[in-house]
Amino acid sequence: MSVTPSPHRRVALLTLGCARNEVDSEELAARLDADGWEVGTDAEGADVVVVNTCGFVEKAKQDSIDTLLAAADTGAKVVAAGCMAERYGKELAESLPEANAVLGFDDYTDIGARLDSVLRGESHDAHTPRDRRELLPITPVQRHTAKVVVPGHATVDEHTPAHLRKILRRRLDSGPVASLKLASGCDRRCAFCAIPAFRGAFVSRDPQELLAEAEWLAKTGVRELVLVSENSTSYGKDLGDPRLLEKLLPQLAAVDGIVRVRASYLQPAETRPGLVEAIATTPGVAAYFDLSFQHSSETVLRRMRRFGSTERFLELLESARKLAPAAGARSNFIVGFPGETKQEYEELVRFLNEARLDAIGIFDYSDEDGTEAAGMTGKVSEATVQKRYDRITSLVEEICGQRAEERIGSTVEVLVDSISDDEIEGRAEHQAPEVDGSTTLVAGDQGVDVSALRPGDLVRARVTGTEGVDLIAVPVEMISAAPVPR
């Protein structure tokens, strides 16, 4: 006997992984809200818990499994969605009976009906995974005519001009920072990465649609936009203008209420001089370079199906710092990639010492299903990978700590993120949300009254100390006060 869902159905959306997933969750939240669901992020008391999973690397996948199991312990119906669910489909459903349904991206447009079905106790046949790159035309400029579900790209009414369309997004928090998805998918073929197979080929969003969403976000209290995608440097290539990001940045920075725009996920091989200049010199755009280096040895990069070298990457960083000496730079690196020799590893160490990055993520290589690297010979032993990982992690902590200390005595612009227990946390231009450290604002002899600060305020502050990569600073001038809530 089927059960009619309560008119007050409650769903909790739990988001794991990257900022792109956060945007996808907010699209799902908007769809569910429109279908009459009460949407939140607290699993306790929810009728259904949807876990937007991450399928990037083994550690992220295990975190997704643990979250799904914990959700099942609440007594709610549990649904797996997101990248891991899309990537494994039936396999995940069979190995995780605690999940009442495993949904792929194609289910997103009817998410309300899917959850109604789950709540009634009906079974859901999980999809058989497929390479989503094959769903779109090979030629980038033809992709916008294809009717393919791309999370975060939903159009309510394609016949209405982009700037007049309803924004299909419902914020799940009220902080002063929000991600804005530029594009989805990736056309690169990095040997270690499975993401393109389940996220699909690269597709840009319409710039007018992005500007409209930015204006909507600003009206909800957002002060900083973080531009996200799998590869932001490709933005516009499928719209006929590979320089479109350079043109879009000043337009986003000019949106009323937005005080900072931050670009992320830049591919070094596609980072053109014009884009470097736009990021480094455009007022309202953070002089911040999130560059996906992954390694610096030219021979390792070639095996990774990537381009570059220590010298080319150092030249790229130098070009940015010539325009903005205080610019922030971060990157991620893989140690122990198949065939990595001691000399190639030492080349990476040399690069890190000379590059002086502000924030660095280190990953120890592990095989990923369906990737070219998983089938490569010359695997580095686990003991050697661990030894290299431990050594480079210690080096990274030292370098990043030194970079923070070099900012003592300088002036930085800090966006206040949160205030709790009389502690005021914010971020300078070189600090992206959650990954690059933060700045604690403390009272000084003169300048801004810290007791009057609110989330969303942008202040100029003098750096007085550090704690690892984190800064301690005294606000000396209010640049832009957050609007008073109505």
3-state secondary structure 156-180: CCCCCCHHHCCCCCCCCCCCCEEEE
Half-sphere exposure of 262 (CA within 13 A, CB side): 29
Separation in Å, CA 298 to CA 295, 304, 424: 8, 10, 43
C-beta separation of 363 from 332 below 8 A: yes
Which amino acid is present at 298? E
Which amino acid is present at 436? D
193 is in an annotated binding site: yes
Separation in Å, CA 291 to CA 21, 452, 465: 20, 36, 27
Q: CA torsion angle for 11, 17, 23, 24 (degrees, to 10)?
A: -60
Burial group, residue 339, by CB count within 10 angstroms (0-12, 13-18, 19+): middle
18 is in an annotated binding site: yes
Torsion over CA: 467, 471, 475, 480 (sign): negative
User: Residue 427's beta-bridge partner residues?
Assistant: 415
Secondary-structure breakdown of the chain: helix, strand, coil percentages, each rounded to the nearest 5? 35, 20, 40
190 is in an annotated binding site: yes
* Residue 191 CB coordination number (10 Å): 18
User: Which of 404-420 are b and which e, b meaning 16 or more Cβ less than 10 Å from the residue's Cβ?
Assistant: beebeeeebbbbbbebe
Q: Collect all residues with Cβ–Cβ distance below 8 Å to 388 and sequence separation of at least 6.
A: 335, 336, 340, 345, 364, 380
Binding-site entries for [4Fe-4S] cluster: 18, 54, 83, 186, 190, 193
Q: Which residues are annotated as a binding site?
A: 18, 54, 83, 186, 190, 193
